[in-house]
Each structure stands twice: as C-alpha cells, then as structure tokens.
Structure 1
Amino acid sequence: MSANPRVLIAEDDSRLAGMLDALLRSEGFEVELARDGQRALHLGLTTSFDVLLLDRGLPAVEGLDVLRGLRDSGVTTPVLILSALGTPPDRVDGLNAGAEDYLAKPFDIDELVARLRALTRRAATTVPTVRFPGGRLDADGRTVILDDGPRVLLSERESALLERLARRPDQVFSRALLLEEVFADADDPGVVDTYVHHLRKKFGRSLIETVRGIGYRMGSLS
C-alpha cells in the first residue's frame, strides 16, 4: 500500500461526492471519483486502490452489480458500501455480494474515516490467495496449487508476473507496462517474453494469451 492510501469513491450525488472528496483528501487519502457504476467498474478493474467507497444507487450499473463484477474478476480490494438503503436485509445483501463493511446514510464523518482506515490496515496485513481458471497462487506467493491437486513452485519473477496478470484477468498488458510493474530492474522488454515462456512451459500455452500487436492477458489452464 502507498504512503497515502488510495480510495475510489463511487457516488452520483455531486454534492456528497465533493464533500467526501474534500474530507478524505484532508485525512491523507488519494481520491478518485466515479459518478456512475460503469465508470466505477472500469476504474476498479484497471486501477489499484487500497479501499473502495461504493454507493448502491448508481446510474448505468447498480452498486451491488459493480461489486459482483469486481469480485467475479478477482479484484479483492476491500469495499465499504455507503448507502441510504440501511435496513438489516439491505446490509446482508451488501455483505453477501462481497463488501467488507456497510454504513447507512446519514452517517457520522468520524465513523466513516475510522472504518476506511480499519479496512486499509486489514488489507495491508492480509495476503489474499490469487485465483485463476484452473488453479490459484497460494498466499506464500511462490506456489501454484492446481485445481486437480498438484503444486508447482515458481521463481520470484514467475510468481510476480503470474500474480500481476491474474489480479486483472480482463486487462491486456503491454510489454512496456509489465516491464515497468514487474521487472523494474530490467531494461529489455524481452525479459517479459522470457518469463511468459517459462510459465507456459510449466502450465501450457493457454495460461497466458497473446493479444497480437498489444501484449498479454491472463488465460486459463483448461
């Protein structure tokens, strides 16, 4: 996590969104705003955040559908739902959809900030298992456990590349981006191709798909 935790605020009420933006910036957060569910889903899938603050009544894509879309794509960023829908069944629906916390409107500002900080602390000390079709990268970060049982040990760089692709399975990564984010100590884009080859040799060519003229994205073992 960065020195200043990054939060995505998905809120269509412009007045409330502006207030939350100013409040959380004053508390040391880096803030990104999304005014509808489609934008929130796009940012959640393509950008790294430490916590998401999500309204349920969003235009374009409803808040719980945004949340389900993120979880179905393997995004594990903690989510706090902030909603006028605050009955016990509403809260249960939100938590069952994958939220870590739920706060009803109107809300206490100090409580909101405290809950967001608690979620970022919890996320910083938790190493989630990263799943992909056919297996998962264990919490130790160096072992792939296949769905049919076998375990495969990875090198540090193989693990880093697989984790980056698996956390954003729908994103196509250019060689330049992977070089920057995974192999920062190298200056030859060919190192990306080398480690893609290593992973394919261990798991088969379908694990990592080549998108001609662009780069690579996560595939599957099936």
Structure 2
Amino acid sequence: MATERLRVLLIEDDPRLGPLIEQVLTEVYEVTRVEDGEAGLAAGLAGDFDALVVDRRLPGLDGAEVVTALRERRVVAPILMLTALGTVRDRVDGLDAGANDYLVKPFEFDELLARLRALTRTFTGEGKEIAVGGWRFHPESRAIYSPYEGRILLTDRESALLRLLAENPLRTFSRRQILEAVFEADEQDGTVDTYVHYVRRKTDPDIISTVRGQGYRLGQL
C-alpha cells in the first residue's frame, strides 16, 4: 500500500523561485502554492496541511502577519519561514509570530527539504491514540484531533490532565488527586479548575465532566 504523502502549503510570490520550490517539494509532498498573503491565510485556514512554507515578504499581508493570524486561529501545523532578510531582528520577528524555523535566501534545496523533514518528524510522531468520544488524543505529541476542526495542540499541563482522565475513563478524581498526579502538590486547587477550563475551551465543554462535590472525570461525549 502506498504511503499517503504529507500536505504542504507554499506561500511564495517570487515568479522565478516560487515554481522552483514547488517543483522540488512536489517530489516528496502534496503541494498547494499560493502567491499572496490573503490567499495564503485563506488556504491555511481552509486546508488541513501537515506543514507550511511561508515567504517573509508577501503582497497584501506579509508572512509574519499570515503566521500570526494562523496561530491566533489555532492552526498548529509547523511553519518554515523563508526570507531574503538575514538580520537577527527579522528572524526574531518571524519566530515570535509563530514560525517554527527560519531559512535565509539564497538556500540549497537540500537544506529546505531537510528542514521540512525535521519539522514534520517532530509534529507527526503521534504515538498511541486514545479515543475520547469522536476526538482522537495522542498524549505523546500533545495533539488532539477534533471531528470538526482538525488538529489542536495542547500544552504539557493540559495534555497531562486530559491523559490522566482519558486513561481512567470510569474514575472520578478529586482536585487534590489531580494536583498530585499532574501538577505540584503544593499548588492551589484552583489550578486544576483553571486547566480544566483551558482544555474545555480548546476542545469541547463536555470533554471533562464536573462531579459535584467530588471532582472531575472524563466526559461522556
């Protein structure tokens, strides 16, 4: 059986370099290419891509603005930013916007492919899967897949909390038990409530159930 190719969104307006990058990437990936920031943002929000390659200088929205907007809308796929500007400030701006890595033009295509391989290895090594209703949870990568919105990345603490409940679906945990298992024992009970709120907000309000007077358990989705 053929392995399904990873999907890459290329946002690059250079009329010479763009088609060359697309040709190189197409040897390995399923590639969608767009040529301006607005189209790139729309494609990134509409498509379930495994990685994005975004030029720093784009017509309309620039690359940093595109990345910021994608991250604000919970797009968590790894992003490699390309730039002809090699200053430290420019690299920092791109990374602060939410890019995972940076490549300065001119570059060798072998390095571009190597950077993408490294990023996709990091973000697709999912490990075991736990079904939570219609959701698919991968604790090792902290990723949870929505039946509606695709991949959502949890923080370390959010993932640890959900993992505790998902691996013990019939058990109700008190706040103190959750603190001792997931957080620091000397933290306040309110820490648990805060992270339950975070997980619900990112996923589904019913993914964690409150058991009045006792604590929390995995929800019945």
TM-score, scaled to structure 1: 0.61
SS in 1 for 2:53: strand
Aligned partners of 1:76 and 1:128 also within 8 Å = no
User: Higher Cα Rg: structure 1 or 2?
Assistant: 2
Q: Does 1:149 align with 2:150?
A: no
What is aligned with 2:16? 15
Aligned partners of 1:81 and 1:102 also within 8 Å = yes
| CA drift at 1:91 | 1.0
Q: Percent identity, aligned pairs only?
A: 42
Aligned partners of 1:8 and 1:53 also within 8 Å = yes
What is aligned with 1:138? 159
Question: Across the two proteins, how many residue pairs are aligned to each other?
Answer: 159
Change (3 A) 1:105 1:131: closer
Change (3 A) 1:90 1:69: same
Q: What is the distance in 2 between the residues matched to 1:139 and 1:109?
A: 38
Q: What is the distance in 2 between the residues matched to 1:119 and 1:131?
A: 15
Where do 4+ consecutive residues of structure 1 move more than 3 Å? 128-132, 139-145, 200-203
What is aligned with 2:41? 41
What is aligned with 1:128? 142
What is aligned with 1:111? 111
Letter in 1 for 2:49: F
Letter in 2 for 1:8: L
Aligned partners of 2:84 and 2:106 also within 8 Å = yes
Change (3 A) 1:141 1:35: farther
Letter in 2 for 1:87: T
Aligned partners of 1:131 and 1:137 also within 8 Å = no
| CA drift at 1:5 | 1.4
Change (3 A) 1:199 1:57: same
What is aligned with 1:199? 206
Q: What is the distance in 2 between the residues matched to 1:141 and 1:6?
A: 28
Q: What is the distance in 2 between the residues matched to 1:201 and 1:80?
A: 34
Q: What is the distance in 1 between the residues matched to 2:14 and 2:208?
A: 51
Q: What is the distance in 1 between the residues matched to 2:19 and 2:114?
A: 19
SS in 2 for 1:52: strand
Structure 2, unaligned runs of 5 or more? 127-140, 144-151, 167-177, 179-189, 211-221
For residues 47-88 of structure 1, what are the alpha-carbon distances to aligned partners after superposition, in whole Å with 9 as ceiling and x for unaligned?
111111000111121110000011111111111101111112
Q: What is the distance in 1 between the residues matched to 2:5 and 2:153?
A: 27
Letter in 1 for 2:7: R
| CA drift at 1:148 | 5.9
Aligned partners of 2:142 and 2:153 also within 8 Å = no
What is aligned with 1:99? 99
Q: What is the distance in 2 between the residues matched to 1:86 and 1:10?
A: 19
Letter in 1 for 2:77: T
Letter in 1 for 2:120: T
Letter in 2 for 1:35: E
Aligned partners of 2:8 and 2:32 also within 8 Å = yes
SS in 2 for 1:95: helix
Q: What is the distance in 2 between the residues matched to 1:112 and 1:82?
A: 9
User: Relative contact order (alpha carbons < 8 A, sep ≥ 6): 1 or 2 greater?
Assistant: 1
For residues 83-138 of structure 1, what are the alpha-carbon distances to aligned partners after superposition, in whole Å with 9 as ceiling and x for unaligned?
11111211111111111110111111111111011101011126236479xxx962
Aligned partners of 2:82 and 2:103 also within 8 Å = yes
What is aligned with 2:7? 6
Q: What is the distance in 2 between the residues matched to 1:148 and 1:88?
A: 37
